[in-house]
Amino acid sequence: MGEQAPQIDEDLCSGCGDCALVCPLDGIVIEGGKAHLLDDIPCDACGNCEAVCPTGAMGVAYEVVFDDEASDADQPVLDVVE
Ligand code: SF4
Ligand code: SF4
């Protein structure tokens, strides 16, 4: 996984597998009842896994925000949320 790979809170993860189903890169596997990210998949931070996770266990490191101060305010920018 790349630097944009989401963080998984194993305490919250139920192992439901929903995130693995929606990852376009097939980068998530369920092992031992928990979600795990494969190391060699270049996660593009699409956010699919975070969006479907019913427990809030999946956290993508970026979110799309609109910067009203930017000259092209209708364009989303990536903001780091750590
Ligand atoms: S953010 Fe997208 S590409 Fe990255 S692990 Fe989640 S679903 Fe897969
Ligand atoms: S969708 Fe959430 S709860 Fe389900 S396996 Fe993935 S991280 Fe765990």
Look at ligand 2, atom 4, and give the residue with the nearest C-alpha.
16
Q: What does CATH list as the number for 7-80?
A: 3.30.70.20
pLDDT for 45? 87
Residue boundaries of the structural domains of the chain: 7-80
pLDDT for 71: 57
Cα angle value 63/69/73 (rounded, 5°) = 65
**Can you list the residues of the chain whose pLDDT is less than 50?**
none
Mean pLDDT of the residues in the chain: 83
Residue 64 backbone phi and psi in degrees, to 5: -85, 125
Question: What's the whole-model pTM score?
Answer: 0.76
DSSP per-residue string spanning 54-69: SSS-EE-SEEEEE-TT
Whether the CB of 24 sits within 6 Å of ligand 2: no
Of all ligands present, the nearest one to the C-alpha of 3 is 1
Q: Is the CB of 43 inside a 6 Å radius of any atom of ligand 2?
A: no
pLDDT at 31: 96
